[in-house]
């Protein structure tokens, strides 16, 4: 299954009832080793707070921000996503963000 070209396999996964873009991309990246970036709530929250996207940004737009910068770099996508999840869980909280303690906090004004 994972030898199928990414674009073809992604469409097949999205065609399965209950699988949306985040789940399809997680399967592709983590189980299949395909070079796709997984966008989750942490990703959107961090990018919004840094002024890189607005709240209306769609999943595919956000995914493309990463994929166009690092095409075909599965390991980097995996690492980026892990770092984003870590920042989201520990500092960029939905309620009461800890920007002053966050390693990305110094970039807040720069991104805006």
State the CATH number of the domain containing residue 22: 1.10.1670.10
Q: What's the structural domain count of the chain?
A: 1
Crossing angle of helices 74-90 and 41-49, in 10° steps, is 80
Q: Is the dihedral of CA 98, 42, 106, 56 positive or negative?
A: negative
Using an 8 Å Cβ cutoff, are 21 and 27 in contact? no
Run of H or E including 65: helix 59-69
Mean pLDDT, residues 24-31 taken together: 97
Confidence at 91, pLDDT banded by 50, 70, 90: very high
pLDDT at site 107: 83
Within a domain: 87? yes
Whether the per-residue pLDDT at 71 is higher than 90: the answer is: no
Q: Which two tokens stand for residue 107?
A: 């970039």
- What are the residues whose beta carbons fall under 8 Å from the beta carbon of 68, sequence distance 6 or more? none
Whether the per-residue pLDDT at 112 is higher than 90: the answer is: no
Using an 8 Å Cβ cutoff, are 73 and 61 in contact? no
- Residue numbers of the domain that contains 71: 6-111
Within a domain: 1? no
């Amino acid at each position: 299954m994972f030898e199928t070209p990414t674009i073809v396999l992604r469409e097949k996964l999205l065609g399965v009832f209950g699988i949306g873009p985040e789940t399809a991309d997680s399967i592709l990246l983590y189980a299949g080793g395909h070079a796709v970036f997984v966008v989750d709530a942490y990703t959107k929250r961090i990018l919004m707070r840094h002024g890189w996207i607005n709240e209306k940004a769609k999943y595919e737009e956000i995914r493309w921000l990463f994929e166009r910068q690092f095409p075909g770099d599965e390991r980097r996508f995996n690492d980026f996503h892990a770092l984003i999840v870590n920042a989201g869980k520990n500092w960029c909280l939905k309620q009461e963000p800890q920007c002053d303690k966050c390693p990305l906090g110094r970039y807040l004004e720069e991104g805006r």
